[in-house]
């Protein structure tokens, strides 16, 4: 487990080791950490609540948006793919921001980008919508990488509990984005105000983070270290592939599941509720599982079983989508519940905060880049075949691979960065 979090700092760089390496700058590092107070926890949780609604809210009014701006499903494919691609590209840059400006400022900038992007994307047509979505998702990407680092660094003795709270609030935010945006669109007279309203939640998180994120006044000098790269570590790649595959499935669900159910005869509002259930199911899972699973020697069996149950839900959607949508939705939601375990595995497979930062950047940076292929291929297969069968078979193949990588990532061992 991590040393006292008040005496260490994550230091990462894009030097010769690239963005996936960790080393302090200069001959020694004067290190400070964010203080693990209750106000910081509030800031962490409010930030977590904003890491999904930008995506799930868009999916629930996608058809209305396309009709309003006269766009085709090409824009739909971009809007479901570009955010995840942005998560990967911006996520790789997150450790650089943390090193240069500190965790407090880096996450604050991320929340400011998110707030601005959510406002921008409702002001004009397709190009502005896409640009605002990119800016918002750049902010989300930085938060995706850095907030788990804050959790391990500032709450090392409550890792399971705080990880569970973080994952539960994140899931709740995604569920609310899916469930209430369509009704908000009806109540407010259109999708623009409905989507734009989520900027209020982002602004609240920015305020809470500004109040709660404070560095310790104490500093310590750390001896110089040579760069530590994870790119040649097999376990790091295993964790990265597990994270990538579970994210791929999650963003296929968030981007396309309502459309699949609508094609099966489910009305649009109900399809949005089903999407909300897949996210909200992560609330009890996030609260209950991480504190329990963190005590296990390894997490392999739990990850494999949860992933397989998600696969059973997709199999139901493939074979009989209209027969029992609530059952398929619950199974898919249970499978998506591996997300908090994927976050926790990043922390458990690293010995130090420095290694956690490097593994988080690698798993989420590269992982989100890989997962960006999911929504794109899902939509392309739908367009090429005129149905959902090929798309759903593709997801089932991915889930099969996820069982393998998840089981391997859950084994009790830690990464061993190569030192140059």
Q: Where are the beta strands (DSSP E) in 25-75?
A: 29-31
Q: CB-hemisphere CA count at 13 Å for 248? A: 30
pLDDT one-digit tens code per residue, 24-40: 334 333 345 777 787 88
- Report the alpha-carbon angle 79-303-145, nearest 5: 45
- Confirm if 174 and 52 have CB atoms less than 8 A apart: yes
Containing structural domain, residue 379? 36-213+230-414
Query: Does 182 fall in a domain?
Result: yes
- Confirm if 177 and 53 have CB atoms less than 8 A apart: yes
- Confirm if 75 and 62 have CB atoms less than 8 A apart: no
pLDDT of residue 419: 57
pLDDT of residue 27: 38
Query: Does 11 fall in a domain?
Result: no
User: What region does 220 belong to: left with phi over 0, alpha with psi -120 to 50, or beta?
Assistant: beta
- Confirm if 249 and 402 have CB atoms less than 8 A apart: yes
Residue 370: Cβ within 10 Å count: 17
Query: Does 142 fall in a domain?
Result: yes
What distance lies between CA 205 and its chain's CA centroid?
17
Query: Does 219 fall in a domain?
Result: no
Q: What is the DSSP letter of 352?
A: S
Query: Does 8 fall in a domain?
Result: no
- How far CA 84 is from CA of 77, 320, 334, in Å, comes to 12, 29, 21
What is the C-alpha radius of gyration for the chain, rounded to an integer number of angstroms? 20
Contact residues for 271 (Cβ-Cβ < 8 A; gap 6+) = 257, 258, 259, 261, 262
pLDDT of residue 310: 94
Tens-binned pLDDT, residue by residue, of the chain (420 aa): 333 333 333 333 323 233 333 333 343 333 457 777 878 888 889 999 998 888 878 777 777 777 777 766 666 667 767 776 776 676 667 777 777 888 888 889 999 999 999 999 888 877 888 888 889 988 888 888 788 778 877 787 777 778 778 877 887 888 788 778 888 888 888 888 999 899 999 999 999 998 887 776 554 444 444 455 788 889 999 999 999 999 999 888 877 888 888 888 888 778 878 887 887 776 777 677 777 777 788 889 999 999 999 999 999 999 998 889 999 999 998 898 888 888 888 888 888 767 777 787 788 778 888 887 888 888 889 888 989 999 999 999 999 999 999 999 998 888 887 654
Query: Does 381 fall in a domain?
Result: yes
- Confirm if 372 and 84 have CB atoms less than 8 A apart: yes
Count up the domains in the chain and report the number: 1
What distance lies between CA 333 and its chain's CA centroid?
15
pLDDT one-digit tens code per residue, 199-258: 999 999 999 998 887 776 554 444 444 455 788 889 999 999 999 999 999 888 877 888
Query: Does 104 fall in a domain?
Result: yes
Mark out the alpha helices in 102-233 (DSSP H runs): 103-120, 126-154, 159-188, 191-196, 198-212
Mark out the alpha helices in 264-388 (DSSP H runs): 268-280, 282-293, 300-319, 325-336, 339-348, 353-371, 373-385
- Confirm if 42 and 169 have CB atoms less than 8 A apart: no
Cα separation of 121 and 137, whole Å? Answer: 11
CATH of residue 253: 1.20.1250.20
Query: Does 30 fall in a domain?
Result: no
The pTM of the full predicted model, rounded to 2 decimals, is 0.71
């Amino acid at each position: 487990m991590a040393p006292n979090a008040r005496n260490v700092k994550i230091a990462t760089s894009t030097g010769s080791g690239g963005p996936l390496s960790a080393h302090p700058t200069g001959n020694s590092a004067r290190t400070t950490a964010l203080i693990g107070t209750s106000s910081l926890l509030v800031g962490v949780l409010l930030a977590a609540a904003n890491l999904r609604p930008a995506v799930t809210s868009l999916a629930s009014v996608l058809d209305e948006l396309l009709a309003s701006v006269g766009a085709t499903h090409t824009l739909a494919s971009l809007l479901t793919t570009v955010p995840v691609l942005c998560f990967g590209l911006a996520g790789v840059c997150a450790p650089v921001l943390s090193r240069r400006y500190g965790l407090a400022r880096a996450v604050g900038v991320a929340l400011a980008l998110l707030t601005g992007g959510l406002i921008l994307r409702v002001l004009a047509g397709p190009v502005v919508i896409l640009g605002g979505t990119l800016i918002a998702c750049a902010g989300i990407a930085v938060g995706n990488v850095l907030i788990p680092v804050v959790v391990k660094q500032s709450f090392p003795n409550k890792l399971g509990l705080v990880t569970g709270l973080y994952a539960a609030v994140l899931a709740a935010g995604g569920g609310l984005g899916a469930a209430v945006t369509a009704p908000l669109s009806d109540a407010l007279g259109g999708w623009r105000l409905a989507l734009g309203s989520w900027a209020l939640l982002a602004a609240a998180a920015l305020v809470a983070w500004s109040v709660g994120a404070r560095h310790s006044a104490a500093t310590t000098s750390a001896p110089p270290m040579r760069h530590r790269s994870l790119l040649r570590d097999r376990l790091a790649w295993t964790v990265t592939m597990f994270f990538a595959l579970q994210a791929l499935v999650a963003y296929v669900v968030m981007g396309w599941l309502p459309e699949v159910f609508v094609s099966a005869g489910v009305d649009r509002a109900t399809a949005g509720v089903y999407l909300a259930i897949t996210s909200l199911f992560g609330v009890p899972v996030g609260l209950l599982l991480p504190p329990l699973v963190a005590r296990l020697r390894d997490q392999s069996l739990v990850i494999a079983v949860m992933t397989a149950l998600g696969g059973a839900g997709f199999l139901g959607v493939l074979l009989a989508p209209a027969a029992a949508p609530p059952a398929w939705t619950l199974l898919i939601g249970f499978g998506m519940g591996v997300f908090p375990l994927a976050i926790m595995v990043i922390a458990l497979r690293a010995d130090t905060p420095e290694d956690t930062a490097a593994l988080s950047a690698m798993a989420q940076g590269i992982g989100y880049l890989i997962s960006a292929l999911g929504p794109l291929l899902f939509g392309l297969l739908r367009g090429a075949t005129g149905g959902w069968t090929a798309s759903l078979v593709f997801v089932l193949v991915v889930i099969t691979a996820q069982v393998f990588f998840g089981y391997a990532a859950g084994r009790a061992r830690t990464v061993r960065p190569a030192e140059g």
